[in-house]
Amino acid sequence: AKLIFRHGKFFLYVPVTINVPDTPAPSSCKKVVGIDRGIRFLAAACDGKKTSFYSGAAVKQKRAHYKELRRQLQKRQTSSARRRIRAIGQRENRWMNDVNHRISKALVCAHPKGTLFVLEDLTGIRGASERVRVKDRYTQVSWAYYDLEQKIMYKAVRCGSALLKVDPAYTSRECSGCGVVDKESRRTRSLFVCVACGLRLHADVNAARVI
């Protein structure tokens, strides 16, 4: 164990080992849930019947607040300002960590043991920031998608479920009804209308179903 004194209080950190059930093979799972991660909605989960949305509006607003606060402090060029910037960064990380804990817990607890959670493999997504508008780059780079993925993974395993990552190519352009891929089907950020079969869905719901 480790005894920590922080902010005028003592905390005792005690590591524990938890026995978890064997992770089921994807083919043996009785239920499949597709999860589309993004910035506008941190997660949109669909099991084929119902969809759950987790808005990212509060996160985007909070990130913007901290960014502006850091900008103002950087102008001062003082030691106290630099200490304040470090403290703000730690506070922001703790807050985002808590957000991802609550989302991942809600996702895993909403589905029974033996569920297969399917996510896009977003490895290398950071390198795509150059293709994003300059004003949106900070939001893209600070997006905690990997942390959310890790939390979903360990919570799923602990509950006897499994996680699978798939190729993210064309998931936003493919129709979950007929499988036709066409960029014209993605009418707006939130609307998907298939040019082939006419399926009309919220874009994130369609992506979650494809995943």
Q: Which of 92, 149, 174, 204 does the annotation list as catalytic?
A: 204
CA–CA distance, 55 with 63 (Å, rounded to integer): 14
> How many other CB atoms are there within 10 angstroms of residue 66's CB atom?
17
Give the pairing type, strands 41-46 and 51-55: antiparallel
CA–CA distance, 159 with 112 (Å, rounded to integer): 8
Q: How many residues does the chain have?
A: 211
What are residue 12's DSSP bridge partners?
A: 3
**Residue 85: what are its φ and ψ, rounded to 5°?**
-65, -45
Q: Is 130 a catalytic residue?
A: no
> How many other CB atoms are there within 10 angstroms of residue 205's CB atom?
20
Q: Which of 36, 92, 149, 174 does the annotation list as catalytic?
A: 36
Q: Is 22 a catalytic residue?
A: no
Q: Is 36 a catalytic residue?
A: yes
Residue 67 CB contacts under 8 Å (≥ 6 apart), including other chains: 138
Q: Which of 92, 120, 149, 174 does the annotation list as catalytic?
A: 120
List, by residue number, the catalytic residues: 36, 120, 204
